[in-house]
Structure 1
Amino acid sequence: MMNRETLDTFSWAVVAEKRSCEAEPENLSSEEMKLFRYMLEQPNEKRRLEQERISQDHINSSIQQWINDH
């Protein structure tokens, strides 16, 4: 669920990140890597989406979509 749609939908749940990880994670898709780099470019107060605040419906829908795609 590390995609721009989720970030935009839950933008109200984006919070400050005191110390961001700047090392690029391994095994991200190209879309995920693009979003990771985008978030690094943001001011510290807009660098982390609190994933625990994403709605259960959105999570379920994302998982179902992933299952359908694979």
Structure 2
Amino acid sequence: MELSARNQLKGKVSEVNLGMITASIKIEVEDPTTITAVITKESAEKLGLKEGDDVKAIIKSTEIIVGK
């Protein structure tokens, strides 16, 4: 699938935690960097996400907040 979003990070699912409504998906994008995506439980189940899956984290944002 081709997407217009340019902020795409290839990675591997390292952990899937299904909650009542949402799911927390940890993705290893660059050793040792891990990002966490919070998606609906329904989406996680529909995608069949499990540890070890190769995925792309697609980041869509209108702003970036920087703190120091």
TM-score (norm 2): 0.22
Q: Normalized per residue, which structure has more helix?
A: 1
The answer to which structure, 1 or 2, has the higher relative contact order (CA under 8 A, 6+ apart) is: 1
Q: Normalized per residue, which structure has more strand?
A: 2
